[in-house]
Amino acid sequence: MKSDNKKDEPAVFKRVVSKNASPYNYMKVSLVLEDESTRLTAIELKQFIITGLKSLYGEVGAALSFDLLKYDEDTLTAFLRVSSRGLVKLWSSLTLLGFYQNQACAFRVLQVSPFLLALTGNSRDLQLD
C-alpha cells in the first residue's frame, strides 16, 4: 500500500553531495637517504615519522593515529593509512623531515588516494606499447 502512495507523489529532485566522505586516506611514500646503504626497520620508520610530527605539531600532533600498512625494506617504500582529517598534518610533517640520524633525507610522496585499491597501479609509470 505504501508503495502505491509513494507513486502518487511527484518525484522530488534531490541532489546529494558528499565531500571527503571517506574516513581514511592512503599514502604511498618512499624515503630517500643520503647514504643509501642505511637500512630502517618498520618500527624505526614509524618512530621517525612520529618524531617529525612531534617537532612540527607538538604533543597533539604526535598523538595523531596513522598506520604503517606495508613496508618494503629494500626500496624504503611504505604505505601509510591516516584519517582524512590528519592527512594535511602528516603530509606537511613528512615534507619537513630533513634529517635522519644526522644525514640528509627526504620523503617522496608517490601517491595519495582515499582508496587503497588505487595504489595498486600508477598511471604515471605505465608502459604503453
Which residues here bind other proteins, judged by CB under 8 A?
54-61
Residue identified by cell 598511471 is 123
Q: Nearest approach, Cβ of 39 to other proteins (angstroms)?
A: 29
Q: Nearest approach, Cβ of 63 to other proteins (angstroms)?
A: 10
Cβ proximity of 33 and 97 under 8 Å:
no
Q: Nearest approach, Cβ of 52 to other proteins (angstroms)?
A: 10
For residue 93, the surrounding DSSP H or E stretch is helix 87-95
Q: 23 or 58: whose CB is closer to other proteins? A: 58
Q: 60 or 104: whose CB is closer to other proteins? A: 60
Q: 40 or 49: whose CB is closer to other proteins? A: 49
Cβ proximity of 111 and 118 under 8 Å:
yes
Backbone region of residue 119 per phi and psi (left: phi > 0; alpha: psi in -120 to 50; beta: other values): alpha
